[in-house]
């Protein structure tokens, strides 16, 4: 990764619902399981560009339990991750492929992926942000010492966060305002 960013803040983005669109079936939220279902959220490229302009590392942290559940293949997940790397200017994509019963330290709401990244790239979590669309993202961010920003969705009304915004663009505006 980029050594010039060591010791700086980062923005940790959840994948499904922040970077790419979630699927809604019968009022329930699902992650894409096929590459053709993997579509960008509105404004993601611009949001990442603006964060990079502010010299933040941008790291995607995502739970993908469909791997452990046998509902998606590792090859499909790898293709989605490659699409993120080839299209977006992210510094890293960290994936937890485990299910709740695996009791790993990386699965959000645990802060393992964020703490791993902070150690590996000397990230200051106190100067960092987590943007997510679920309570798990918010709990993980707080546990790591980051400021949490929740994208307001019909399925996350009870999630506790530091800030709640309507859009990814608003989240970036808030980060830039607080960084200056």
Residues tagged active-site: 14, 16
Longest dimension (CA), the chain: 46
Contact by Cβ (8 Å): 137, 154: no
CA distance 127 to 77: 30
Q: How far is CA 35 from CA 26, 31, 45, 69, in A?
A: 21, 11, 19, 18
């Amino acid at each position: 990764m980029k050594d010039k960013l060591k010791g700086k803040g980062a923005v940790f983005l959840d994948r499904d619902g922040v970077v790419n669109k979630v699927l809604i079936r019968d009022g329930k939220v699902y992650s894409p399981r096929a590459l053709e279902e993997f579509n960008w959220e509105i404004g993601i490229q611009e949001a990442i560009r603006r964060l990079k302009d502010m010299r933040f590392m941008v790291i995607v942290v995502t739970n993908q339990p469909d791997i452990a559940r046998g509902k998606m293949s590792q090859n499909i997940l790898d293709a989605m991750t490659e699409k993120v790397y080839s299209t977006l200017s992210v510094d890293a994509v960290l994936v937890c492929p485990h299910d709740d019963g695996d009791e790993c330290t990386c699965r959000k709401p645990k802060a393992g992926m964020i703490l791993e990244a902070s150690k590996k790239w000397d990230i200051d979590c106190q100067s960092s942000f987590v943007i997510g669309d679920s309570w798990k993202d918010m709990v993980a961010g707080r546990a790591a010492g980051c400021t949490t920003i929740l994208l307001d969705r019909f399925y996350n009304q009870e999630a506790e966060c530091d800030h709640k915004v309507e859009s990814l663009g608003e989240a970036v505006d808030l980060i830039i305002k607080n960084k200056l």
